[in-house]
Amino acid sequence: MKTILLCIDTSVERTKTQVASITRQPFEESQTTVHIYHVFRSDGENADVESLSSVKKATELLEEEGFTVEVSQSGGDPARDIIEKAETLEAESISLVSRKRTPTGKALFGSVTQQVILESDTPVLVCTPK
């Protein structure tokens, strides 16, 4: 059984792009679990990943394609949490979507995608939003 860690944010459109990038790959759907993962920036007690529209849409699209789907969440540092989750799951790959930012924006706010690529031993599939 293969495991893909699909790290999504709250954007339904970016989530659709990520799901499409996975469904186009030569994965054997019945032998692949897609673990949908969202990192909340805080540890809010009321945070519920299942209530996010992006999670609902990803789950729906992936299950329609025949993938087994699991969902989880954490709160804190997104890059660190993503890397740790991939290691815990022994994921074959991590799927991320990049955000379009100016060079100044990247310098000021950093890039979760860039940090995961540089620090993770797990292969990373980066999707570009349409």
CATH number at residue 24: 3.40.50.620
Q: Which domain holds residue 111?
A: 2-127
Contact 38, 51 (CB under 8 A): no
State what percent of residues in the chain have pLDDT above 90: 72
In the three-class reduction of DSSP (H, G, I as helix; E, B as strand; rest coil), residue 10 is classed as: coil
User: What pTM did the predictor assign?
Assistant: 0.90
> Encoding tokens for residue 13?
């459109």
Query: In angstroms, rounded to a whole number, what is the distance separating the alpha carbons of residues 50 and 73?
Result: 9
Please, which pLDDT band fits residue 104 given cuts at 50, 70 and 90? low
Average the pLDDT over 52-57 and give the result: 96
Say which DSSP state 16 is in.
H
Residue 105 to residues 2, 68, 108, 130, Cα–Cα distance (Å): 35, 36, 5, 19
Q: Among 101, 95, 89, which Cα is nearest to 116's?
A: 95
pLDDT of 89 higher than 70: yes
Q: Domain total for the chain?
A: 1
Average the pLDDT over 18-25 and give the result: 94
